[in-house]
Amino acid sequence: MDITLDDFIQKYQNAYVFLKTKQGDILAKFEEATDNLIFYSAELGEIYITFDNAKKVIITKFPKIGIYNVGEYLFSLVYRVPEKQFKASPCNKNTAIKTVYLHNKLDINHDTLSETFNPNFPTKPEAKKLCVARGGVALSDKFGITLSDKNEYDLYYHLNKIGNINSTDLITVEYTPLLQEVKDFFGDDLVWKS
């Protein structure tokens, strides 16, 4: 690699990377350096890599900024923390996941990052069931809904409420600067379709 072992440790300690393996790219956390670099993966356990091979097998990437269905929480916003950019890959110091409503920060770990790198956005029928069960759900990396009064839904863009969806699936956008973005996702007629 083009950096020293000490620089590598400082950049990657407790951070998550993807490792190229025979099983495909897997998410792993850099734990420590002894004679080898030691990573931990939920799928494969401890993985040992020589420092000389690190550049060939490490893939650094951050989750796309947006909202995701993380764990049992309502949808959560994932974003970079700009003042903490020394780490080369996602970790608690440079990446944040905040939940809707409480705005509490979730821990950056294998489970939360896996859900952001492999998002699963529900269909309309699934979203309605999840909304009843959990109180809210992300429909895409930009839009989410929460259960409101009278069998209606509050519509969110990231963590900001921008409108609602009524019981007949008609969408009302209260924050008009995002009207075109809403139309691009839901359609020009502003009706939530399946």
* CATH value at residue 23: 2.30.30
Residue 174 forms part of a structural domain: yes
Residue 175 forms part of a structural domain: yes
Three-state DSSP state, 120:
coil
Residues 143 and 164 in one domain: yes
Rg for the chain (alpha carbons), in Å? 20
Residue 21 forms part of a structural domain: yes
Answer for the pair 115, 42: CB distance below 8 angstroms, yes or no: no
Q: How many CB atoms lie under 10 A from the CB of residue 123? A: 10
Per-residue pLDDT of the chain (194 residues; tens, 9 = 90+): 578 898 899 889 899 999 998 888 999 999 999 889 999 999 899 999 999 999 899 999 889 889 998 877 778 888 888 755 667 889 888 888 888 766 678 888 898 899 899 898 999 999 999 888 888 899 999 999 999 877 799 999 998 999 999 989 999 999 999 999 999 999 999 999 87
Residues 29 and 76 in one domain: no
Q: What is the pTM of this model?
A: 0.83
Residue 104 forms part of a structural domain: yes
- What's the pLDDT at 151? 75
Choose one of 117, 132, 155: the last residue of a domain.
117
d(CA 131, CA 100): 13
- Relative to beta strand 105-106, strand 143-147 is unpaired
Residue 194 forms part of a structural domain: no
How far, in Å, are 41, 44, 71, 144 from residue 121 at the CA level? 25, 27, 13, 10
Give how many domains the chain has, as a whole number: 3
How would you class 2 by CB atoms within 10 Å of its CB: exposed for 0-12, middle for 13-18, buried for 19 or more? exposed
Three-state DSSP state, 24:
strand
Residue 192 forms part of a structural domain: no
Structural domain span for residue 38: 5-59
d(CA 160, CA 164): 12
- Report residue 30 as tokens: 């850099």
